[in-house]
C-alpha cells in the first residue's frame, strides 16, 4: 500500500465569509447611525408612534375628566385653571406633568407642588403647599407680604396686627437672618412689633407697642451676640419691663438707655 502523501489545505473559507459578514454589518451599522443622526429617523418614528397612540386612546376612555386641587387657601382656583391650560377631554396620557408643575409653581402663593395622574376616573391631581406670611414690609406707603424665607410675595394681602412689620429699604433681604437669630427665644421675639432697617445696615427693634414701645438699637455687626445680651438683661434685670424710650446695644461693652420722660426714675446706669 502506497502511503498517501497528499497534504490538505485547511478549510479557511468559512472564516473569510464570517469576517466579510461582520465587516459588512459594521459598515451597515455605521451608515445607519450616520443617517439616523442626520435625519433623526428614530425620533421621528417614535413621535409618529406616540401621535398615533394618542389619537387612538383619545376616544377610548382616556379623556381627562377632572382636575382636583389640594392645599389651596390663598391661591384662587381660577388662577390655577388658567395657568395649567387643561381642558376636559384632553388625552390624559399626553399631558406633560412637568409642564403643569412649572406653570403652577409660577403662581405667587405656591411654595411647593406635586402633579399626578389618577385613572378611572381620569383625573389630574394637584397638591399645593402655600407660602406662609411671616412679616409685612412697609415701603413707599405700600404693604408687601414676606414669606418665611424673606421673599416678597407679589400678591394682594390684607395686613394683620399679629404680623411683624418691617420697614426700610432692603429690609426683606436681611429679615431672614434676623428671624433666625431672634426666634431662638420665642417669648421675647413674640413681643417685637416692628423692625426698622436703618440705612440699609442695621436694625431697630420695637417692643410691645409700635407707637409707645421700647426701641432697641441693634449693632451692624455681631447681631447674634447683641441679641443674647438683650435676652440676658431681660431675664436677669427685667430691662424691657422698665419705663424706657430706647436701649442702645451698638457698643460692644456698654449698654445705653434712655428713660421715659414721664417716669420718676431717672437712673440710666446699666
Please tell me the pTM assigned to this model: 0.68
**pLDDT-based confidence at 31, cuts 50/70/90?**
low
Q: Is 6 exposed, middle or buried (0-12, 13-18, 19+ CB in 10 A)?
A: exposed
| Residues contacting residue 126 through CB under 8 Å, at least 6 positions apart | 67, 68, 69, 70, 80, 84, 100, 104, 113, 114, 115
In the chain, the percentage of residues whose pLDDT exceeds 90 is 55
Name the E strands within 71-211. Answer: 110-118, 123-130, 133-139, 142-147, 164-167, 192-198, 202-207
pLDDT (tens digit per residue) in 59-108: 557 788 999 999 999 999 999 999 999 998 888 888 999 999 999 999 99
Query: For residue 193, which of 175, 179, 181, 205 has the smallest C-alpha distance?
Result: 205
- In this prediction, residues 162-190 reach a mean pLDDT of 92
Percent of the chain scoring above 70 in pLDDT? 74
Show the cell assigned to 18.
464570517
User: Residue 24 pLDDT > 60, yes or no?
Assistant: no
- Residue 9: the pLDDT is 41
CA Rg, the chain, in Å? 36
Average pLDDT score over residue span 209-236? 94
Q: What is the pLDDT of residue 220?
A: 94
Amino acid at each position: 500500500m502506497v502511503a498517501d502523501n497528499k497534504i490538505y489545505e485547511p478549510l479557511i473559507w468559512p472564516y473569510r465569509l464570517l469576517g466579510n459578514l461582520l465587516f459588512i454589518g459594521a459598515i451597515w451599522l455605521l451608515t445607519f447611525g450616520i443617517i439616523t443622526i442626520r435625519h433623526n429617523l428614530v425620533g421621528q418614528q417614535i413621535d409618529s408612534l406616540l401621535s398615533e397612540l394618542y389619537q387612538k386612546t383619545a376616544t377610548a376612555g382616556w379623556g381627562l375628566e377632572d382636575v382636583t386641587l389640594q392645599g389651596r387657601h390663598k391661591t384662587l382656583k381660577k388662577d390655577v385653571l388658567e395657568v395649567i391650560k387643561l381642558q376636559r377631554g384632553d388625552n390624559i396620557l399626553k399631558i406633560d406633568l412637568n409642564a403643569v408643575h412649572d406653570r403652577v409653581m409660577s403662581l405667587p402663593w405656591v411654595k411647593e407642588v406635586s402633579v399626578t395622574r389618577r385613572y378611572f376616573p381620569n383625573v389630574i391631581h394637584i397638591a399645593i403647599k402655600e407660602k406662609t406670611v411671616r412679616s409685612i414690609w412697609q415701603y413707599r406707603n405700600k404693604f408687601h407680604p414676606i414669606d418665611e424665607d424673606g421673599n416678597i410675595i407679589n400678591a394682594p394681602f390684607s395686613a394683620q396686627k399679629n404680623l411683624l412689620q418691617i420697614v426700610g429699604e432692603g429690609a426683606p433681604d436681611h429679615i431672614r437672618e434676623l428671624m433666625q437669630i431672634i426666634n431662638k427665644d420665642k417669648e421675647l421675639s413674640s413681643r417685637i412689633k416692628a423692625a426698622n432697617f436703618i440705612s440699609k445696615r442695621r436694625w431697630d427693634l420695637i417692643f410691645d407697642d409700635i407707637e409707645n414701645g421700647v426701641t432697641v438699637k441693634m449693632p451692624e455687626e455681631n447681631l447674634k451676640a447683641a441679641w443674647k445680651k438683650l435676652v440676658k438683661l431681660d431675664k436677669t434685670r427685667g430691662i424691657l419691663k422698665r419705663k424706657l424710650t430706647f436701649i442702645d446695644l451698638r457698643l460692644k461693652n456698654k449698654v445705653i438707655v434712655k428713660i421715659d420722660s414721664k417716669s420718676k426714675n431717672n437712673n440710666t446706669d446699666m
